[in-house]
């Protein structure tokens, strides 16, 4: 427990199924090496779209993680969720009793089975309503990732879903931390999954003018904080952590990767898609997370930034950090935007980036913002980790997420044993 008697929450396992690789260490090694997960779209024929590139999960075979019949009854996002959850449980060596009591899950989603919905809508239009699959609705609801994780792993504790757009994965981890602190579960699986590399979503995001159109250079397309940035690449991922009370994790001999020390959220109350340009409402989430962790702003060494590569968003994010951490200290904080490598994985993004920030604390190594050749003058004011990873002592890291609808969320991750 902390000095105030509150339960400390440990991360004992991580499951990543993402454009950087499958498995914790494979993805982490790729992030430190600055390897891009971008490429031309192979999941569907994108030849007629203005944007023909994305960040797909390489070599993902659902049948390696679940029964093939069960996989056919899941949307791709639910398959990613189950795969990541299974990897996380294996990574944590977490024992799950036959009755599944005391273990739950919070799994974020934003696209609600996008691929399945698009396919079944096409079936209805082309072949008639009587040919729509009886699984059409179960395949395409936002809570089904959480439900399938529970079914596949036998979890009968608190199981729910978060749906706050790009902040949902971060909110899922924060929600799970609260469940652990209340004593309502002995372990929680927390994270997110999304699979929005579909014709409708790629076209829709492009219509919003938030996607890069550098089709001739997918690996160099995503350029957060760069003067020449022109948007993000759509990504897909499943990213799940195993959370346990620190004392219980140590008692069972689990390896503690890092701790989730604090969580905060807020809303801009400003605009459907654009962030509040002042950064003040977003800073409320960061400040709340630091307060929850009992951490002073001056203790933060690294931030894995939302870094979506939008013209209005990136400068606003620098203002957030300067407001929350203080201008003098923010200038010394190592800031990375790993979306430059794995793309924007929507509801999974916050969980993926929190995992990378926590591993930075564990290993004392900070991944880079690749493709950051010239910092936009509007994005000056923090220490950008450009192009190459950096060795750095990281006792405290912060991961931030900002979503459509003005949803903001932040997590404070600390090196194992660093807390009070």
How many C-beta atoms lie closer than 10 Å to residue 135's C-beta? 15
Q: Give the range among 56-60, 177-181, 269-273, 298-302 with minimum mean pLDDT.
A: 269-273
Question: Which candidate, 1, 141, 157, 170, places its Cα nearest to that of 74?
Answer: 141
Please pick, among 166, 302, 342, 379, the residue that the annotation labels catalytic: 166
**What mean pLDDT comes out for the span 393-418?**
94
The whole-angstrom separation of Cα 221 and Cα 235 is: 13
Question: Residue 369 carries which DSSP code?
Answer: B
| Torsion region of 102: left, alpha or beta (phi above 0 gives left; psi -120 to 50 gives alpha) | left
If one compares 6 and 323, the residue with the highest pLDDT of the two is 323
If one compares 59 and 119, the residue with the highest pLDDT of the two is 59
Please report which confidence band the pLDDT of residue 106 belongs to, taking 50, 70 and 90 as the band edges.
Answer: very high
Enumerate the domain spans of the chain. Answer: 9-251, 263-415
Question: Which candidate, 151, 228, 157, 225, places its Cα nearest to that of 188?
Answer: 157
Please pick, among 302, 342, 344, 407, the residue that the annotation labels catalytic: 344
Task: Reply yes or no on whether the pLDDT at 110 is more than 90.
Answer: no
Question: Which candidate, 98, 195, 189, 94, places its Cα nearest to that of 147?
Answer: 189
Work out the percent of the chain whose per-residue pLDDT is above 70: 98
The token duo for 246 is 């620190």
The token duo for 383 is 């220490």
The whole-angstrom separation of Cα 303 and Cα 394 is: 10
Please report which confidence band the pLDDT of residue 261 belongs to, taking 50, 70 and 90 as the band edges.
Answer: very high
How far apart, in Å, are the Cα atoms of 160 and each of 157, 172, 182? Answer: 10, 9, 16
Please pick, among 306, 342, 384, 407, the residue that the annotation labels catalytic: 306
Q: What is the pLDDT of residue 304?
A: 98
The whole-angstrom separation of Cα 259 and Cα 12 is: 9
Is 344 a catalytic site residue? yes
Please report which confidence band the pLDDT of residue 2 belongs to, taking 50, 70 and 90 as the band edges.
Answer: low
Which neighbouring-strand residues pair with 410?
264, 400
pLDDT digits over 280-325, tens only? 999 999 999 999 999 999 999 999 999 999 999 999 999 999 999 9
Domains 9-251 and 263-415 share a fold: yes
Mean pLDDT estimate for the chain: 94
Is 302 a catalytic site residue? no
pLDDT digits over 9-39, tens only? 999 999 999 999 999 999 999 999 999 999 9
Q: Give the range among 97-101, 177-181, 196-200, 340-344 with minimum mean pLDDT.
A: 97-101
Question: Which candidate, 321, 302, 263, places its Cα nearest to that of 106?
Answer: 263
pTM, 2 dp: 0.96
The whole-angstrom separation of Cα 162 and Cα 61 is: 26
Task: Reply yes or no on whether the pLDDT at 333 is more than 90.
Answer: yes
The whole-angstrom separation of Cα 112 and Cα 376 is: 35
8 A C-beta contact, residue 170 and residue 322:
no
Superfamily of domain 9-251: Thiolase/Chalcone synthase (3.40.47.10)
If one compares 253 and 116, the residue with the highest pLDDT of the two is 253
The whole-angstrom separation of Cα 173 and Cα 243 is: 9
SS3 307: coil
Any idea which architecture 263-415 has in CATH? 3-Layer(aba) Sandwich (3.40)
How far apart, in Å, are the Cα atoms of 292 and each of 243, 261, 268, 362, 398? Answer: 17, 7, 20, 21, 12
Q: Do the strands 103-108 and 187-195 form a parallel or antiparallel pair, or are they unpaired? A: parallel
Q: What is the pLDDT of residue 117?
A: 81
Q: What is the pLDDT of residue 118?
A: 83
Write out the E strands in 306-364.
Answer: 334-336
If one compares 121 and 222, the residue with the highest pLDDT of the two is 222
The whole-angstrom separation of Cα 38 and Cα 343 is: 7
């Amino acid at each position: 427990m902390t000095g105030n008697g509150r339960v400390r929450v440990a991360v004992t396992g991580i499951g990543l199924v993402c454009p950087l690789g499958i498995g914790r260490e494979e993805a982490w090694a790729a992030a430190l090496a600055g390897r891009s997960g971008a490429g031309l779209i192979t999941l569907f024929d994108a030849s007629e779209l203005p944007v023909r590139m994305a960040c797909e999960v390489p070599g993902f075979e659902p049948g390696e993680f679940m029964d093939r019949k069960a996989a056919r009854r899941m949307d791709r996002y639910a398959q990613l969720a189950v795969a990541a959850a299974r990897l996380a449980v294996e990574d944590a060596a977490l024992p799950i009793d036959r009755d599944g009591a005391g273990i739950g899950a919070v799994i974020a989603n934003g696209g609600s089975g996008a691929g399945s919905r698009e396919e079944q809508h096409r079936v209805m239009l082309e072949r008639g309503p009587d040919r729509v699959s009886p699984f059409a609705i179960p395949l395409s609801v936002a809570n089904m990732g959480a439900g399938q994780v529970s079914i596949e792993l036998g979890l009968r504790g608190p199981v729910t879903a978060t749906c706050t757009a790009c902040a949902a994965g971060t909110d899922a981890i924060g929600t799970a931390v609260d469940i652990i602190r209340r004593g309502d579960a002995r372990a929680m699986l927390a994270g997110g999954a999304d699979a929005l590399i579909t014709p409708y979503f790629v076209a829709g995001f492009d219509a919003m003018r938030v996607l890069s159109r550098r089709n001739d250079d997918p690996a160099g397309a995503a350029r957060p904080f760069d003067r020449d940035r022109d948007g993000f690449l759509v990504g897909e991922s499943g990213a799940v952590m195993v959370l346990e009370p620190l004392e219980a994790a140590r008692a069972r001999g689990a390896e503690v990767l890092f701790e989730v020390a604090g969580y905060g959220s807020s809303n801009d109350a400003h605009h459907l898609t654009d962030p509040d340009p002042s950064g003040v409402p977003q800073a409320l989430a960061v400040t709340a997370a630091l307060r929850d962790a009992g951490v002073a702003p001056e203790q933060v060494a690294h931030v894995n930034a939302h870094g979506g590569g939008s013209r209005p968003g990136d400068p606003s994010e620098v203002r957030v950090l300067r407001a929350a951490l203080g201008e003098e200290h923010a200038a010394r904080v190592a800031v990375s935007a790993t979306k430059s490598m794995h793309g924007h994985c929507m509801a999974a993004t916050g969980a993926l980036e929190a995992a990378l920030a926590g591993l930075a604390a564990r290993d004392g190594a900070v991944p880079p913002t690749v493709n950051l050749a010239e910092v936009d003058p509007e994005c000056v004011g923090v220490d950008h980790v450009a192009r190459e990873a950096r060795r750095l002592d990281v006792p405290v890291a912060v991961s931030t997420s900002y979503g459509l609808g003005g949803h903001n969320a932040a997590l404070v991750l600390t090196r194992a044993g660093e807390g009070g």
